[in-house]
């Protein structure tokens, strides 16, 4: 259906490595699988699944053992429904890809060929605009290697653009060193001005637990200053948040999404915490979301006081005197201590109102949520299609885009993600396109001087 091409032709949420499918790994490793260092994959898989894999045997079975061998290969790479709800399982399987990719990058020094293979697959799928995110396993403590890694990625994507497809790049910064890494990105842009049109943003991904919004406040402050001083190379922020949040209360998970949007993130990855019904969320694990750090509870109290009038208007009672007493009591405890607050039906109802409030605030800010259906069902632990946050998002006024996240390891390309939303929401193709609009309007770099057009 031609009008769905508007959605299926624009990919705004995808990681470079996650674009490799099992058959790509089989092809990339078939001549080198005995030489690859598999330690990361073997160790992680054994720790997570309790089974020690033999990747050399997996390759030999897949190459010479017929369909059964191929299925065993798929089983060790594709993150399926049976793995759902456990990020550690996802990472254990993703390590398979990392080992192959590292061999091509470090030993063969031909990583550009891997990236071109990813881009060509997306070109064949009919995608005309795509923003890749790349995360190096190299930290800012190795500045030259960090810059070289992302320079090669950006150069390859720049060279791959054309013939009806535009590829852009967002550099994923480690959450544990955002400012240090951002400084290296600025150095890269200064040294390689020809890449400024390709590098359009920075991204925060990987584990979000343990990295509250307060940890990136200095980064956002410097970003605003740099963007003002150098608008021609201004970068925008993509931020995975509210995807995996079992370490905190539902209120805090909602707050994280709101805080990051207020700091200036252009697009939020997943934001499941804003759309998953609270009753469903707490039922996913025993005593889910009842316990969080004292530091998180203190941050939530501060948030409630600051937003008191607005929250009250949404039917959320904020009792300032009670919060003040709790604040004083918590001041005598270590931030790393925990507090436990069980959920009642009324508290769950108030979380729904908090979600409404945050969604309305994000809508006013112009923030975009990137929803990735298959990823959310498996990595994010959404228990069923009927409970997927996309239903809540579509009913709200929030800017929304559909992405595939890691289509290779999830074995689900963007076109299937769009079809899934169409099928599960029972909207017509025209209704879905009318609601979402052209996702290209959310592309990064549009605020730079002279930017315009459709991203070509």
3-state secondary structure of 153: helix
Residue 182 falls inside a structural domain: yes
Q: How confident is the model at residue 456 (pLDDT cuts 50, 70, 90)?
A: very low
Q: What whole-number distance in Å separates Cα of residue 280 and Cα of residue 376?
A: 14
Alpha carbons 147 and 183: distance in angstroms, whole number: 10
Inside any domain, residue 221? yes
Domain limits at 399? 2-290+341-442
Distances (CA, A) of 240 to 211, 350, 407, 445: 11, 24, 17, 19
Q: What pLDDT, on a 0 to 100 scale, did the predictor assign at position 442?
A: 98
Alpha helices in 270-344 (DSSP H): 278-282, 294-306, 308-313, 320-330
CB 204 within 8 A of CB 260: no
Q: For position 139, what pLDDT does the model report?
A: 84
Tokens of 352: 């729904």
Statement: residue 315 has pLDDT above 60: yes
What is the tens place of the pLDDT at every residue in 388-441? 999 999 999 999 999 999 999 999 999 999 999 999 998 999 999 999 999 999
Judged against a pLDDT cut of 60, whether residue 274 lies above it is answered with: yes
Query: What is d(CA 60, CA 96) in angstroms, rounded to the nearest whole number?
Result: 15
Residue 51 has pLDDT above 50, yes or no: yes
Which single residue is written with the structure tokens 């080198």?
32
Kindly tell me if the per-residue pLDDT of 87 is higher than 90: no
- For 39, the token pair is 């330690």
- Tokens representing 52 are 């020690």
What average pLDDT is seen over the chain? 95
pLDDT in tens, 374-397: 999 999 889 999 999 999 999 999
Find out whether 313 and 244 touch, Cβ atoms under 8 Å. Answer: no
**pLDDT over 50 (residue 110):** yes
Residue keyed to tokens 């930290």: 139
Instruction: Check if the beta carbon of residue 258 is closer than 8 Å to that of residue 241.
Output: no
Vertex 146 angle, CA 140 and 150, to 5°: 135
> Residue 455 above 50 pLDDT?
no
| Rounded distance between C-alpha atoms, residue 162 and residue 169, angstroms | 15
Among the listed residues 246, 240, 275, the one whose alpha carbon sits nearest the alpha carbon of residue 260: 240
Tens digit of each residue's pLDDT (9 = 90 or more) over 28-42: 999 999 999 999 999
pLDDT in tens, 91-100: 999 999 999 9
Average pLDDT estimate for 18-34: 95
Residue 1 in this model has a pLDDT that exceeds 80: no
Tell me if 183 is assigned to some domain: yes
- State the CATH number of the domain containing residue 148: 3.20.20.140
Tell me the percentage of the chain whose pLDDT exceeds 70.
Answer: 98
Structure tokens at 185: 């990105």
Indicate whether 31 belongs to any domain.
yes
In a domain, 325, yes or no: no
- In a domain? residue 46: yes
> What are the residues whose beta carbons fall under 8 Å from the beta carbon of 67, sequence distance 6 or more?
none
Q: Which of 265, 354, 347, 341 is nearest to 303 (CA)?
A: 354
Q: Above 80 in pLDDT, residue 452?
A: no
DSSP-H helix ranges across 78-142: 87-102, 111-124
Give yes or no for residue 245 having a pLDDT over 80.
yes
| Structure tokens belonging to residue 412 | 């689900």
Is residue 315, in this structure, part of any structural domain at all? Answer: no
Tell me phi and psi for residue 401, to 5 degrees: -130, 150
Pairwise CA distance, residues 155 & 112, whole Å:
9
Q: Which band of pLDDT confidence, cut at 50, 70 and 90, is reported for residue 451? A: confident
Structurally, the chain folds into a number of domains equal to: 1
Reported confidence tier of residue 450, pLDDT bands at 50, 70, 90: confident
pLDDT at 268 over 50: yes
Q: Which residues pair with 292 in a beta bridge?
A: 339
Say if 318 falls within a structural domain. no
**What is the model's pLDDT at position 454?**
43
């Amino acid at each position: 259906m031609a009008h769905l091409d508007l959605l299926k032709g624009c990919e705004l949420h995808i990681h470079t490595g996650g674009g490799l499918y099992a058959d790509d790994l089989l092809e990339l490793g078939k001549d080198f699988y005995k030489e690859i260092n598999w330690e990361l994959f073997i160790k992680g898989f054994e720790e997570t699944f309790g089974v020690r894999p033999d990747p050399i045997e997996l390759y030999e079975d897949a190459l010479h053992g017929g369909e059964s061998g191929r299925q065993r290969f798929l089983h060790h790479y594709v993150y399926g429904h049976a793995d759902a709800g456990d990020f550690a399982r996802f990472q254990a399987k993703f390590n398979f890809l990392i080992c192959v990719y590292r061999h091509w990058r470090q030993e063969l020094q031909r990583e550009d060929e891997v990236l071109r293979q990813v881009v060509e697959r997306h070109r064949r799928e009919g995608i005309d605009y795509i923003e890749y995110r790349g995360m190096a396993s190299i930290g800012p403590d190795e500045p030259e290697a960090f810059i070289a890694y992302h320079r090669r990625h950006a150069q390859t994507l720049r060279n791959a653009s054309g013939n009806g497809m535009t590829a852009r790049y967002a550099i994923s910064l480690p959450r544990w060193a955002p400012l240090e890494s951002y400084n290296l990105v600025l150095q890269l842009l200064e040294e390689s001005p020809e890449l400024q049109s390709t590098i359009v943003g920075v991204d925060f991904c990987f584990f979000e637990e343990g990295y509250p919004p307060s940890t990136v406040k200095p980064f956002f402050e410097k970003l605003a200053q740099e963007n003002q001083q150098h608008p021609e190379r201004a970068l925008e922020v993509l931020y995975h948040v509210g995807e995996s949040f079992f370490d905190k209360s539902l209120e805090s998970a909602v707050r994280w999404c709101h805080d990051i949007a207020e700091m200036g993130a252009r697009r939020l990855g997943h934001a499941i915490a804003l759309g998953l019904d609270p009753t469903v969320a707490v039922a996913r694990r025993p005593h889910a979301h009842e316990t969080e750090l004292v530091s998180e509870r203190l941050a939530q109290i501060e948030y409630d006081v600051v937003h008191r009038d607005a929250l009250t208007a949404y039917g959320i009672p904020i009792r300032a005197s009670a919060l003040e007493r709790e604040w004083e009591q918590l001041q005598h405890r270590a931030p790393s201590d925990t507090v436990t607050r069980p959920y009642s039906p009324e508290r769950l109802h108030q979380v729904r109102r908090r979600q409404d409030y945050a969604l309305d605030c994000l809508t006013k800010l112009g923030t975009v949520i990137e929803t990735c259906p298959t990823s959310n069902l498996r990595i994010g632990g959404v228990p069923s299609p009927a409970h997927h946050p996309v239903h809540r998002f579509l009913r709200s006024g929030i800017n929304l885009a559909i992405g595939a996240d890691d289509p290779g390891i999830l074995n689900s390309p963007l076109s299937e993600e769009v079809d899934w939303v169409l099928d599960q929401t029972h909207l017509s193709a025209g209704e879905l396109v009318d609601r979402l609009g052209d996702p290209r309007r959310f592309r990064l770099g549009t605020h730079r001087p002279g930017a315009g057009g459709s991203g070509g």
